[in-house]
Amino acid sequence: MRPFRLGLLAALMAAFVMPAAAMAQKKSGKDADGAYNAAQMKRGAAEGAAAAQAAGIPCTVSNAAWLGASAADKKTNSAAKDMFEVACSGSMGFMIQVDKGGPAMGFSCLESLSGLACKLPENANPNALLQAALTKNTVACDLSQTRLIGQVPTAQAIYIEALCKDGSGYVLKTSMPMDLAKPIKAEDCLIYDAANTNVKCTLAEPASRLALIDRFVTTAKVNCTVKERRFVGPLKDGTTAYEAACQDGKGYVLKVDNKGGVVPVECAKVPTLCELSDARQAMTEQAGLYTNLAKAAGSNCVVESYAVFPAQPGQEVLELTCKDGAEVVAVFPARGPGKVYDCGHALVAGFKCAPGKLNYSPLTADLRKLGKTDCSVSDVVARAKSAKGNPQIEVACADGLPGYVVEYTDPATPVGALGCRLVGCNLPANNKPKA
């Protein structure tokens, strides 16, 4: 992680002096609410827009105030400076430092430190603008608090911690200068709790963030009294995974999407993602269950291991590795008998085995049934449905001659085969130039 710039605003705050008129008002009690005086507002109206333009911030200035000035310092070779606050139409407000005769820098109201906070009425609630931006970026967080973590000038990025009302938290990465119209990257604070990095979330304790897992268990409607909780991390499908270990020894991975939807997966089905429960024992028990279900479906597969296909409505689909080395795809509905297919016929059913697991002999046998005895299948690919709406596959032949497009009424019933010379084929072996 690149170093963060945290001290610049604090140094600026110490360097600036309050205008004499403002100090006089404070002494007389006329500035008790901390509002800017007329002279500050007048100068802000005259110079604020130019300061915003010089700082290059995304702002159509709707109001502005001059905060004060600092004198030049020959010892540090620093120029005299002015500080302005600007309100921006429909977007985040800024503090702007202007070096006399030099550059200008802008800091959003979300980056302000204690003692140098935005005070214009339009800038009273910068979190509301950030909330709208988070919603636009599909970050499910009802904001409670924010905290500036720092800036990374080399990456042109600002990092902010966001605490949500439900106890979750995020590290937000925005553009620099902050432009909420641009994409915001949000990473769960739990990532930083577990990582060895100089970035940490401090607005809440890590234990309170993990307590969310109990709510996810309730939402998922699984029978689990939570004993232990663990953050797993982001998954390739865009969800974030959490592990819950239950009092009865079972465990679940809870996949949570950016809208708060929860999909539970038993640790027995994703043992590599689970650490808190005995996934190995659960997997062994589950393999025994799948062996019994496969047997009930007419298969002699004694399950050694398995992999779960993406969730299918009303059914469970798995690739089973049998102890005899065979690889099959099993479809087990919630009720009634299941079906078990070899990897070739699974392709007809719409499922694909892992690479290198396909046994082509059952497809060769299908061609024999259709009178095509000249082809031993060497490759296969799924095809679009036929004109009758039946599933089709394309096969290549081991002898190198053009293969066939085979039509099925169901994965077990081939009804026709057309040669690739008659219909367009896609496999490279079926598209060799004629000798």
Rounded to a whole number of angstroms, the distance between the first and last alpha carbons of the chain is: 60
CB < 8 Å & 24+ apart, contacts of 271-276: 273/232, 273/241, 273/243, 274/243, 275/230, 275/243, 276/227, 276/228, 276/229, 276/230, 276/243, 276/244, 276/245, 276/251
What integer best gives the mean pLDDT of the chain? Answer: 86
Q: Is the pLDDT of residue 176 over 60?
A: yes
Identify residue 105 by its one-letter amino acid code. M
pLDDT band at residue 313 using 50, 70 and 90 as cut-offs = confident
Query: 197 versus 56: which is more confidently predicted?
Result: 56
The pLDDT value given to residue 435: 57
Q: Give residue-wise pLDDT tens across range 57-66.
A: 999 999 999 9
Q: Give residue-wise pLDDT tens across range 127-164.
A: 999 999 999 998 889 999 999 998 888 889 999 999 99
Q: Is the pLDDT of residue 196 over 70?
A: yes
Overall size of the chain counted in residues: 435
Q: Give residue-wise pLDDT tens across range 2-53.
A: 444 444 444 443 444 434 333 333 333 334 457 899 999 999 999 999 999 9
d(CA 286, CA 303): 9
The pLDDT value given to residue 113: 55
Average pLDDT over residues 373-385: 93
Q: Parse the chain into domains and list their residue ranges.
A: 8-124, 137-209, 211-270, 280-349, 361-430
Question: Which range among 68-72, 201-205, 406-410 shows the weakest confidence by mean pLDDT?
Answer: 68-72
Burial of 345 (0-12, 13-18, 19+ CB in 10 A): buried
pLDDT band at residue 434 using 50, 70 and 90 as cut-offs = low
